[in-house]
Amino acid sequence: MSIQLFDLTGRRALVTGSSQGIGFALAKGLAAAGAQVILNGRDEARLKAAAESLGAGHTLAFDATDHEAARKAVDAFEAEVGAIDILVNNAGMQYRTPLEDFPAEAFERLLRTNVSSVFNVGQAVARHMIARGAGKIINIASVQTALARPGIAPYTATKGAVGNLTKGMATDWAKYGLQCNAIAPGYFDTPLNAALVADPAFSAWLEKRTPAGRWGKVDELVGACIFLSSDASSFVNGHTLYVDGGITASL
């Protein structure tokens, strides 16, 4: 197998929620593989700083939870700059509290941020990909797509939905030449998990629970993203790839 199968030169990749954390790491990795990256987020100042740190690429500020805003931003970029060949739906949030006390508004916000955003941006980009007969969509799921922990039941529900929406995208859009897959990270040292990383008891539990015996590093997600973005995954569709140090494989 030629290494050229993984070359992303000449392709554009939109990564939502990419001003920090996993999104920024994936954008940086895709750029290193040759892609021209498009950073997305709601905070234009933070996006600008991320783009300057990356040293390349475009910024596209819009709220992924707003269906019309996502459509307008994607349509304008396609018309003014060019095709979006790869979409990484990374925008997401977490909220932790026991289910019996979980605020209804926080539940709705999780649904909008973690699920509606995938539908909104996925549909906006896919319409152009369908017209071209090619495209890659990668949704960021989670170990919570398959597992649950106390205090995050609504988050678990949203990530289960992302896994099934990925299957639905593949089922509807594979016939048009699109490959739609998901990456399910385990526990990674990111701003979203800062409170857990800082908790010695949780880190000790995680190290015992995970066969690899440690937190993941965000750069360890890059290879999976490049694979699913490249020609190397031309017949991979509707799949969720767990990158979790083995946590979903063991009791």
- Sketch the domain layout of the chain as residue ranges: 3-190+218-243
Q: Tell me: the pLDDT tens digits for 84-136?
A: 999 999 999 999 999 999 999 999 999 999 999 999 999 999 999 999 999 99
Terminal C-alpha separation, the chain: 35
To the query of whether residue 242 is one of the catalytic residues in this protein, the response is no
- CB hemisphere CA count around 173 (13 angstroms): 28
Q: Tell me: the pLDDT tens digits for 170-190?
A: 999 999 999 999 999 999 998
pTM: 0.96
Q: Which of 51-55, 75-79, 109-113, 231-235 has the lowest mean pLDDT?
A: 51-55
Whole-angstrom Cα distance, residue 118 to residue 75? 16
* CATH number corresponding to 3-190+218-243: 3.40.50.720
The residues with which 87 forms a beta bridge, in sequence order, are 14, 137
The residues with which 13 forms a beta bridge, in sequence order, are 37, 86
Give the model's pLDDT for residue 27: 97
As a whole number, mean pLDDT of residues 6-31 equals 97
Q: Tell me: the pLDDT tens digits for 144-169?
A: 999 999 999 999 999 999 999 999 99
Give the model's pLDDT for residue 55: 87
Catalytic pick from 155, 176, 187, 242?
155
- CB hemisphere CA count around 170 (13 angstroms): 19
Give the model's pLDDT for residue 1: 52
Give the model's pLDDT for residue 248: 97
Q: Tell me: the pLDDT tens digits for 198-222?
A: 999 999 999 999 999 999 999 999 9
